[in-house]
Structure 1
Amino acid sequence: MPQTETLAWRPGPIEMDIARGRDAAPAVRRLARAGDGTAADPASALPVAEVHIDGEGSGTSSSERLMGSAVGRRLRFLEHREWDEDGMSRLEVTARDPESGILVISRWSCWDDLPVVRCESEVVAGDRPVDLRAVSSISLGGISEPGAAWWHDHEVGFAHNTWFREMVWQRRTPAELGLDDAGLDTWGIPSSRASFALGQRGSWSTGGHLPMGILRSRDSARSLLWQIEHNGAWRWELGDQGGAVYLVASGPTDQSHAWMRRLLPGERFRSVPATLVLGGDDDALFAALTRTRRRVRRPHPDHDALPVIVNDYMNALMGDPTSENIPPFVDAARRAGAEIYCMDSGWYTDGATWWDDLGSWEPSSRRFPDGLDAMTRRMRDAGLVPGLWLEPEVVSVASPVAARLPADAFFQRDGRPVMESGRLQLDFRHPAALAHIDTAVERLIADLGLGYLKFDYNMDVTQGTDVDADSPGDGQLGHQRALLAWVRDLMDRHPELVIESCASGGQRMDAATLAVHPVQSTSDNQDPLFTACIAAAAPTAVTPEQGAVWAYPDPSWPDERIAFSLANSLLGRVHLGGRIDLLTREQMELVQESLAAYRETRKRIRTAVPFWPLGLPGWHDAVLALGMSDDEGELLTVWRRSGPAEVRIPLARYAGRELDVDVVFPKSLPTEVAWDAAAGELVLGLPDEPAARTLTLRGGGGTRL
């Protein structure tokens, strides 16, 4: 073999070049869209994987970084293979570390019609044990524009995702994040010690930030989006190497998440998967990612049906259901035109509040003296699929279940139970824990005839568990993987059952969860004006047909405010809450109008891709806009929260052409619509108060997203 060879992988829409040789680690020298003639700089390449093991630091004087692992630089190419499987082209490179004896298998896969690469790494122990401290899912250098002043010619995008304020995207230059030109090339130093990292430590996988990021060149259409696909701890980091920006992404690590896995000879560990999207602007990136998410998720009939869900919690009963107050909600749900009724928290407690009586999952005889099945029968008689709320992973400290199950069925640290907010965390690796919740859920499904379950999760366990684990972080990882395996198995046993994922709204809105659950809660926000921003950004994190957004009409609101709240959910999944039981006839007619419009358009949502005519929404933007594009044209929702009553929405693709615009909702409220073809702008005249309109757009041909 020559000193260095290039392994060229050409699966179709992307091109990847891997350098391999006897005296250097195999490294991705170039990753680009097909036809992009950009040259690669070998100095910016990283090893195909970054692996940290016990007893070794970094080779770059900065042990907090994932980049620069000693193992990564010692890897030597052994073999590769290419093959096609499940409609994807696949590449696998195997390398060996001669000192530790481990094998590192790096895998990439790609479809022939999307500029998307899915990545993962696997480590196999050699003839002696090894303690893993970090294993990358992505290790990629040279992702900034070659030759650019990367510290200010590029922007980094990332999304805050806190309770009530989900999916708020930010943009910063690398310099604003602490990554800058420090003059090191003068001294022949290829990398600074600086890095910018985001991550999540605990069981709220998105409790702080989305496990995603974007790097874009501000002077060209070259950009990269990444997504880590895990329902627990994760980390990604950016830094500089060889005059360009690098990216390393992973699941849990020792430094960030108290994770370590000991492999005995021949044992294996597989990283969490990750996805890379190569594209231009935000619309192109998220269109490709939306299509990817649809391909990798577990199939479910709900993805096509998109039934309207009523839930009695938000801005309504707030966890206080009884045999007296549920029937009016069921009747109102029927009148509105809903198809699923989910009774939320509180149905199991004889106490005044729902929070502290979790784990037994037995219906309350005080709240429902005639039995909870009387309520689910009423739902079915009203033509509604009955649903119920649970927190399956949680047991209240005072619950008899806490004493009945063995201690090691719960998370522990150093022999003591892990308690958060008066609750214990079940460990789904333990057979007693799994048997307990599985028995309870099967009983509820059988006794109540349930077709819908809402799985909530209202605490963030950052401590992990050291029971039957090499480290607390590894116990956490094992539980998170076992949790999704159980949900998959439950739906396999009940193919029509819909299980919603919720964690205080959107605190578990990760790709691994979305690949299993058909419905995903996006927020607990109770203000329709703020919920509009969340609804407009939701397709960055979840496919529109899975992303449930609250609409909660209140009888004290004027019609425009009610319509605003209803419009929030029309380009996603409808979660109808609020005091629908107290609405006037005219107000209920507005709700009926919105759901009738949704039933007419939802068949398009399940295949459409998102676009943002005004860019990704800002939390305090006066005007927001989200569109859905398919072969029929576009659906577009515009929210005016403040500012001038006349709103102009740029639609450059239709400039100079005719455009047909129709109001989808609300048709019963006044809307002035005009098309300025010369400017390529849609002009809306709205009332002088917060208002929202959903429209259909149809032009005379042209290119779609």
Structure 2
Amino acid sequence: MEFDVGEDGPVALVSMTFSPRHEVYSSLPQSAGTSSNRVPADPTESKTQRITFLGRLPMVQIEASGRGTGHTICGRRLIETSLGQALRFASWKTWHTNGVSNLEIRQESQEHGIECSQLFQVADGDLMFKVTTSIKNTLEDDLVLESLPTYCQLFGQTDGPGEPKDGLEDWRLAECRNDWLGEGRWSWKSLREICPLLKNDMVGRTPQGAYSCISEGTFSTGQALPMSVLASPTQGITWLFQIEHNGPWRWEVGESEKSEGYFALSGPTYKNHDWSVVLHKDQQFTSVPVSVTPASNFDQAVESVTNYRRHWHLATDKLKTPEIIFNDYMNTLNGDPSTDRLLPLIKAAGSIGAEIFCIDAGWYDDTGDWWPSVGEWKPSTTRFPGGLGEVMDAIKREHMIPGLWLEPEVVGIKSPLAKKLPDSAFFQHAGHRVVEHNRYLLDFRNPQTIRHMDEVIDRLVGDFEVGYFKFDYNVMPGPGTTYRSDSPGEGLLGHNRAYREWIKGLYRRHPNLIIENCSSGGMRTDFAQSSIFHLLSTSDQQDFGRYASISATAPMAMLPEQAGNWAYPAADMDDESFCFALTNTLLGHFFLSGYLNRFSGHQLKMVRDAIDVYRRVIGDRVAKGVPFWPLGLPGWYDDKLALGIRSVRDQGADGIRDGILITVWARCTSDGHLDLPLPMFTNRDCRVQVLYPRFTDLDGESDSWRYVWHKGRGSLEVHMPEEGYTARTLLIRE
């Protein structure tokens, strides 16, 4: 990374040079809509690439009340702030520790009393770099900080010096919209469609607007993902970025000077999230982390973010062997557990080889209305007449780890704990507790909250040998808390950070504990959360057919081995639907529910087959591999979907011998024909094996699907039934 540190302006990025680790293949769609997925993918050579930036966009942008903080042009964007423009280079230093290279650049404005440092970190061998930005007030007057984007950067170009006529024309943006039950809805957009050409040069000003994506409140991914991909096939440049925060955030893309595109990445702001913080003299604030990777194409960017997530995960060793998890909630007990209902499920789960049995919501409730009674986390006596220990012992007898569902950040209004804890332990607004859907919100900045939840975890681990917790979260309390905070957003940010530190503390006290992150399904799948949890539930979607869209896109938001995609086959399903439901979880972290005790012997064998192939063939490859999408990122309504896992090694002989995994889903398609482009196998003889629903080579006649390998063009022709739901998981090797 080359920076301009001249005396007449703030520090700005001049160029970036990078070398991909491997030869990778691009699956970037070339046109809008789901039909864009059907495009050839061409190999891209692994070689050093240099990106140059014509303009000088300040990497640090600041808004603060009363300190010359107006934008140089307008206030609708994160960039072009006068305080950002006033910064000047002060010093820099580099160091290397624990396999990570660090660069710190310091800037200052003596006039405005601001010192700013920006820390860049990149792990050895990786392309994706992490950035945090800190600001310090050096004046006697308070600094009221209202916005501090962590990082701002131009798109750049690769064709040398000169000014392009239109720096946005060839660029496309991929973004992901989420909703409860509707996670993972990716789409590609032309930047010129969302940032129109306005001829600003005629008035001598840059555009006032930008295309922004904003998340509010505590569901960090409830509306969209805090990540995006920007790609220019002509330039051969792809950027992938993510904001690593479990609370509010904003990213934006737009047009800067000289018609260059830019992106800016930020945590909470005053205008969007009611966030501000007051810095007294010598006080400092640090922004939320963000990470960015350059790449030559889409697949290379996906490999880069996957490697990055594995490197920066808190407990990478725990991710290498995903366990088989049974949970009693989805399409099964639905929060109404009891001894009588659980014992048959426990027996059945043990018989098919599950390693963890998690009792979901309701285990603590005596009233039959579990929602407003959460908080004390003491076992129900009416649901478990012989005590919860009887059920936990049954789980252990089946050689499974006992698990429990918790919602640690809330206390129900009917819980006895609501009267025991002081108001200071909860989110407040104007002196009153915040109430959302019959719950109070615990404030993890408060030591009493920490002590209470530590005691809960210690008690459950000690009394019942709980080795697995499912941490859920199901409310939206608004912008935050005003108790002991400069603004609601500042209180929420403090809580978000304190909650992560509490999770880290649990691992220090209970190093063998396995914790799942669930937030109304997939409402908090940001990297701040996924980097400290072993797996994440990806959705609460109860339609197994619709879930395929979520399963297929989950590895864009998290590591594939973390993706807890629910498989919930049912006794009344036909064989193809039954296998489809199980296939949803195979290229992730095996996550099972359903009334196993009602399955026929044939159906139980299908479950055992899925678990067996996951253990023997799939799980290890998923935990070490990189996702790719031979048909492009799936659309929500696509009738044919495909997700692949390839080796992280070079796509040479070793990588080919490792083989690739591919799951193909077909949902009531009217066209039973599909062509899967696999250019890494072009001009190679391939063996294609059906791993699930049954082990058979392609020359077997029992499969209702048919496969034809086209060596010359490197593609697999697939024929599947045109009715109902049907899916296959394949292993393809040279």
Q: Do these two structures clear the TM 0.5 threshold for a shared fold by scoring above it?
A: yes
Shift of 1:227: 0.3
1:365 aligns with 2:381: yes
Shift of 1:281: 2.8
Q: 1 CA distance for matches of 2:63 and 2:173?
A: 26
SS in 1 for 2:380: coil
| 2:506 corresponding residue in structure 1 | 490
1:240 aligns with 2:255: yes
Shift of 1:32: 4.5
* Aligned residue among 87, 95, 98 for 1:75: 87
Q: What do residues 356-391 of structure 1 show as CA deviations (whole Å, max 9, x unaligned)? A: 211111111000011001101000000110000010
Shift of 1:633: 1.5
| 1:123 corresponding residue in structure 2 | 135
Judge conservation of contact 1:549–1:574 (CA < 8 Å) in 2: yes
Q: What do residues 549-600 of structure 1 show as CA deviations (whole Å, max 9, x unaligned)? A: 0000101110100100101111100110122221111111111110111111
Shift of 1:188: 3.2
| 1:139 corresponding residue in structure 2 | 152
Shift of 1:322: 0.4
Which amino acid in 2 is paired with 1:182? Answer: L
1:53 aligns with 2:68: no
Point out the more displaced range, 119-128 or 672-681: 672-681
| 2:688 corresponding residue in structure 1 | 661
| 1:702 corresponding residue in structure 2 | none
1:447 aligns with 2:481: no
Q: 2 CA distance for matches of 1:535 and 1:60?
A: 45
Shift of 1:301: 4.4
| 1:87 corresponding residue in structure 2 | 99
* Aligned residue among 661, 666, 675 for 1:648: 675
1:29 aligns with 2:1: no
Judge conservation of contact 1:228–1:275 (CA < 8 Å) in 2: yes
Point out the more displaced range, 690-699 or 500-509: 690-699
TM alignment of 1:101-112, pairs within 5 A:
101-112=113-124
Point out the more displaced range, 637-646 or 593-602: 637-646
Shift of 1:144: 6.4
Q: What do residues 282-331 of structure 1 show as CA deviations (whole Å, max 9, x unaligned)? A: 22111110010000011254312211000000011100100100011101
Q: What do residues 249-288 of structure 1 show as CA deviations (whole Å, max 9, x unaligned)? A: 1111111111111112111111111110111332211111
Point out the more displaced range, 552-561 or 150-159: 150-159
| 1:690 corresponding residue in structure 2 | 725
Which amino acid in 2 is paired with 1:677? Answer: K
Q: Whose RCO is larger (CA < 8 A, sep 6+)?
A: 2
Q: 1 CA distance for matches of 2:715 and 2:321?
A: 34
Judge conservation of contact 1:214–1:224 (CA < 8 Å) in 2: yes
SS in 1 for 2:178: strand
SS in 2 for 1:489: helix
* Aligned residue among 328, 338, 341 for 2:354: 338
| 2:210 corresponding residue in structure 1 | 195
Q: 2 CA distance for matches of 1:250 and 1:414?
A: 27
Q: 2 CA distance for matches of 1:667 and 1:422?
A: 48
Structure 1's 171 and 438: CA in aligned 2 closer, same or farther, altered over 3 A? same
Q: 2 CA distance for matches of 1:367 and 1:530?
A: 33
- What percentage of residue pairs aligned between the two structures are identical? 35
Structure 1's 320 and 37: CA in aligned 2 closer, same or farther, altered over 3 A? closer
| 1:564 corresponding residue in structure 2 | 580
TM alignment of 1:354-433, pairs within 5 A:
354-433=370-449
SS in 1 for 2:560: coil
Shift of 1:526: 0.8
Q: 1 CA distance for matches of 2:7 and 2:674?
A: 62
Q: 2 CA distance for matches of 1:518 and 1:252?
A: 26
SS in 2 for 1:348: coil
Q: 2 CA distance for matches of 1:667 and 1:687?
A: 17
SS in 2 for 1:136: coil
Judge conservation of contact 1:29–1:142 (CA < 8 Å) in 2: no
Shift of 1:150: 3.4
Shift of 1:684: 2.5
1:298 aligns with 2:314: yes
Q: 2 CA distance for matches of 1:635 and 1:676?
A: 18
Q: 1 CA distance for matches of 2:427 and 2:51?
A: 50
Q: 2 CA distance for matches of 1:352 and 1:434?
A: 28
Q: 2 CA distance for matches of 1:693 and 1:678?
A: 24
Structure 1's 434 and 216: CA in aligned 2 closer, same or farther, altered over 3 A? same
Judge conservation of contact 1:144–1:216 (CA < 8 Å) in 2: no
Q: What do residues 165-190 of structure 1 show as CA deviations (whole Å, max 9, x unaligned)? A: 1111111122322x12211223432x
Point out the more displaced range, 375-384 or 167-176: 167-176
Q: 2 CA distance for matches of 1:634 and 1:677?
A: 16
Q: 2 CA distance for matches of 1:143 and 1:46?
A: 11
SS in 2 for 1:466: coil
| 2:40 corresponding residue in structure 1 | none
TM alignment of 1:530-541, pairs within 5 A:
530-541=546-557
Q: Could you tell me which runs of 5 or more consecutive residues in structure 2 were left unpaired when the two chains were aligned.
A: 20-47, 648-654, 696-701
Shift of 1:38: 4.3
Q: 2 CA distance for matches of 1:417 and 1:111?
A: 43
SS in 2 for 1:292: helix
Which amino acid in 1 is paired with 2:582? Answer: L
Q: 2 CA distance for matches of 1:19 and 1:546?
A: 40
Q: 2 CA distance for matches of 1:299 and 1:542?
A: 14
SS in 1 for 2:93: strand
Point out the more displaced range, 77-86 or 594-603: 77-86
Shift of 1:424: 0.6
Shift of 1:57: 4.2
Q: 2 CA distance for matches of 1:643 and 1:404?
A: 60
Q: 1 CA distance for matches of 2:680 and 2:269?
A: 45
| 1:186 corresponding residue in structure 2 | 202
Point out the more displaced range, 390-399 or 683-692: 683-692
Point out the more displaced range, 430-439 or 615-624: 430-439
| Off by >6 Å, runs of 4+ in structure 1 | none
Q: What do residues 193-227 of structure 1 show as CA deviations (whole Å, max 9, x unaligned)? A: 01111121111111100000111114242110100
Shift of 1:421: 0.8
Which amino acid in 2 is paired with 1:156? Answer: L
Q: What do residues 403-434 of structure 1 show as CA deviations (whole Å, max 9, x unaligned)? A: 11001110001111111111110000111111
Q: 2 CA distance for matches of 1:413 and 1:184?
A: 44
Structure 1's 399 and 142: CA in aligned 2 closer, same or farther, altered over 3 A? same
Q: 2 CA distance for matches of 1:578 and 1:411?
A: 37
Q: Could you tell me which runs of 5 or more consecutive residues in structure 1 were left unpaired when the two chains were aligned.
A: 1-15, 700-705
Shift of 1:30: 2.6
**RMSD of aligned alpha carbons:** 1.5
Q: 1 CA distance for matches of 2:484 and 2:249?
A: 21
SS in 2 for 1:325: helix
| 1:204 corresponding residue in structure 2 | 219
Judge conservation of contact 1:320–1:353 (CA < 8 Å) in 2: no
Judge conservation of contact 2:276–2:489 (CA < 8 Å) in 1: yes
Please give the TM-score of this superposition, normalised by the length of structure 2. 0.90
Q: What do residues 112-146 of structure 1 show as CA deviations (whole Å, max 9, x unaligned)? A: 42222211101112132211111111111244676
Shift of 1:148: 5.6
1:672 aligns with 2:672: no
